[in-house]
Structure 1
Amino acid sequence: MSRPDWSLTSADYARHRQGFPDGLYELLAHHRLLRPGLRALDLGTGTGALARGLASRGADVLGLDPAPGQVAAATRLAQEQGLADRARFAEGLAERTDQPAESFDLVAAGQAWHWFDRGLAAAEAMRVLRPGGALLICHYDWIPLPGNVAHATEWLIEAYNPHWRMGRGTGFYPAWATDLALAGFRDIGFGGFDHEARYSREDWRGRIRASAGVGGALDGEAVGRFDAELATMLDARFPADPLVVPHRVFAIWGWRR
C-alpha cells in the first residue's frame, strides 16, 4: 500500500480554514470602515477569505499575495462564489504594492500583519490610501483555554515542532497600535468579540495540518504522524462532533487625515 501524500496545496488551506465570522463585517460597517462601493486593497490575501467577505458586502477589492498558488486559489474561489466582478487577485507585496498613490479607501490585512515588515507595510498603506481612508488589521485566533481542544492541540504541535512560537495567544495585539501611530495614522480604534467556532473533527484536523506550525514547518511524513496522533487524541479526549472551539476576533484601525 502506498503512503498518503501529506503535502499541502493552496486548496487545502482554503478548504479547512474558516473565514472571519459575519460579526466582523457588522463591526466594520458600524465604524464606517465598510460600505458598498468602497475600494479596498487586501494585503497578504492568501486564498482571499477577507477579500471575498468585503466583496460580498459591496466593496471592490484587489487582493495581493506573493504566492502564485494562493492567488490562483483566491481567484477560483471568487469565481465559484460569483464575486469575480468585485474581488480580483494578483501577485504583490504588502511592503511594495506597485499601486497608484491615493487610490484606495481601505487597506486591510487579515491573518497576515505579523508576516510583513510592519513599518514598511504601514508606510505603503499610508501612501496608497486616499485622505479619509483607513488601514485595518484584523485577526481571528483560537483561544487555548486550559483543558480545551485548542490548548491540547497546541501541546501536540509543540511536541512535534519545538521551535513553534505562535501558541498560547490571547487574541489581542495592542503593539500594532504603535505600527499605525508611527506611520502617521490617527484616531486609532479597536474592536472585537469572542466567537464559538464549530469544526467537524475532520476539518479541525485539516485546519491544524494547514497551520504554520505543522504544514508550514514539518515534512510530509511528520505531518502524517502528527495527524494520526491528533486523531487519536480527539477520539480519546474530545469525542464531540462538531468540536466547539473558542475564537477571538481582534480588529485595529487608523485613519489617514
Structure 2
Amino acid sequence: MITFDHIDNGNAFDFGRISEDYTKYRDIYPDVFYQKIHDLGLCRKGQQVLDLGTGTGVLPRQLVKYGAKFIGADISENQIALARKLSEGMNIEYIVSPAEEVDFHDGTFDTVLACMCFTYFDKAILLPRLYRMIKDDGHLAIMSLIHLPGESSIAKGSEELVLKYNQSWNGAGYTRPSFDSNGIPTSYKVDTSLGFEVATSFAFDVSLLFTRETWHGRIKATRAIGASSLTQEQIALFEREHWGFMEKQPESFEILHSATFCVLKKNTEITKPKSEPKV
C-alpha cells in the first residue's frame, strides 16, 4: 500500500490488489486515443519507449503493433506479473520500480509515456531523471482519460455512491481541463524549470460504450474502491448498492470522457535542469 498527502487525505491504496479487475475493466482506451499517440510521432517503429505507471501493460500491449520497443515500469509486483503474462510473445520488457527510481543510460528513450499516473509521481525527482534519459529530440507524453460526471447522470450517481463509502476520495467531480500560460494542464503541475517545455497540448471529448457489468467493474477497479484501504466488508456493501443502482439503468449506455494530452520536449537550452535530489 502507498500513501500521498495530496491524495485521498493520505489514505493508502494499492492497485496491485485489483490486478485481475484492472485488466478486465480498465482497458477502455478507444482506438482514437492510440491513433492520436501515433499521429504525434510517438511510439513508432525504431523508437525506444518507456511507459511509467504501466499497470498491467495496457498501453504497451496496444501500441506495440506500431513497431516501437517498449519498457513498462510499475511499483506494483502484482501489476507487473500480470503485464508479463498478458504480453507473452510481444516486444515488451517490464520492470518493478517506482517511477522516481527508474534508471537507464543518458539518451536512452525517444518517448516516455505517463498515462493516468502522473499525479502519483514526485516530479522534482522524476523530471530531472527523465531529462537525462530522454534523447535531445525525444518527448514526454502525459495523458489521461477521465469520465465527466457533470455530463452523465449515471457517472454522477456512481460517484455519489463512491463518496458514501469513501469520503476521503478526492477524485470526484472531474471537469474538462484548464491550461496554464505555458499550455500545460493545471492539474499536471509541471515545473518548466526542470527541463521541459510544451510541444503540444490539447483535450478532446470521447464517448465510451459500457454495459451495466463493465461500468460497475470500472468503478470497482479504482483507487476509490477496490484499490483503497476500505475493508472487504465495506467494498462488498458498496458493490451491492452500486449494482442495485446499475439495475435501474439501461443494459448499455455511453459515458462521456475527456482525453487530455500534454506532450513535452526537452528544453536543450537548459544544459542541466535543477539538481536531481537523491532517491
Alignment of 1:116-195 (within 5 A): 116-145=121-150, 148-172=153-177, 174-175=185-186, 179=190, 181-195=192-206
Provide the rounded CA distance (Å) in 2 between the counterparts of 1:207 and 1:31.
28
Q: TM-score, normalised by structure 2?
A: 0.82
Q: Secondary structure at the residue paired with 2:33?
A: helix
Give deviations 1:133-175, integer Å, cap 9, x for gaps: 0011000101102552111100110111111111101142612
**Between 53-62 and 225-234, the greater mean CA deviation after superposition:** 53-62
Per-residue Cα deviation, 1:11-44 (whole angstroms, up to 9, x for no partner): 1211111342221222223222232121100111
Q: Classify the secondary structure of the residue corresponding to 2:21.
A: helix
Aligned counterparts of 1:195 and 1:90: Cα–Cα separation in 2 = 32
Is 1:109 aligned with 2:137?
no
Counterpart residue number, 1:225: 237
Aligned-partner Cα distance in 1 for 2:187–2:148? 19
CA contact (8 A) 2:177 2:203 kept: no
CA distance in 1, matches of 2:215, 2:70: 29
Q: Which position in structure 2 is the counterpart of 1:100?
A: 105
Equivalent-residue separation in structure 2 for 1:65 and 1:8 (angstroms)? 14
Structure 1 residues not aligned, in runs of 5+: 1-6
> Displacement of 1:58 after TM fit?
1.5
C-alpha deviation, 1:176, in angstroms: 5.6
Give the number of aligned pairs: 245
2:66 is the alignment partner of 1:57: yes
Residues 81-112 of structure 1 show CA distances to partners (whole Å, capped at 9, x for unaligned) of x42xx211111121120222210100111111
| Structure 2 stretches lacking a partner, 5+ long | 1-15, 179-184, 269-279
Paired-residue identity, %: 28
Q: Does residue 20 in structure 1 map to residue 23 in structure 2?
A: no
Q: Name the residue aligned to 1:197.
A: 208
How far off is 1:118 after superposition? 2.1
Name the aligned partner's letter for residue 20 of structure 1: Y
- Aligned equivalents of 1:140, 1:200: Cα separation in 2: 18
Task: Name 1:245's counterpart in structure 2.
Answer: 255
Query: Contact 2:198 / 2:262 at 8 angstroms: preserved in 1?
Result: no
Q: How does 1:69-80 map to 2 (within 5 A)?
A: 69-79=78-88
Q: TM-score, normalised by structure 1?
A: 0.89
- Residue type matched to 1:252 in 2? C
Question: Residue type matched to 1:233 in 2?
Answer: F
- Contact 1:37–1:58 under 8 Å retained in 2: yes
Shift of 1:177: 6.3
State the partner residue of 2:217: 206
C-alpha displacement at 1:178, in angstroms?
A: 5.0
2:188, 2:211 → 1: CA distance?
A: 35
Residue by residue, what CA displacement relative to the aligned partner does 1:177-219 show, whole Å, maximum 9, x if unpaired? 6515232113431133211111221121111111111112211
State the Cα deviation string for residues 232-257 of structure 1 (Å, max 9, x = none): 11222x2x122211111111011124
For residue 230 of structure 1, what is the amino acid of its counterpart? H
Alpha carbon RMSD of aligned pairs, Å? 1.9
Q: What do residues 69-91 of structure 1 show as CA deviations (whole Å, max 9, x unaligned)?
A: 00011111112xx42xx211111
Q: Letter of the aligned partner of 1:226 in structure 2?
A: F
**Compared with structure 1, are the counterparts of its residues 134 and 50 closer, same or farther at alpha carbon in structure 2 (3 Å cutoff)?**
same
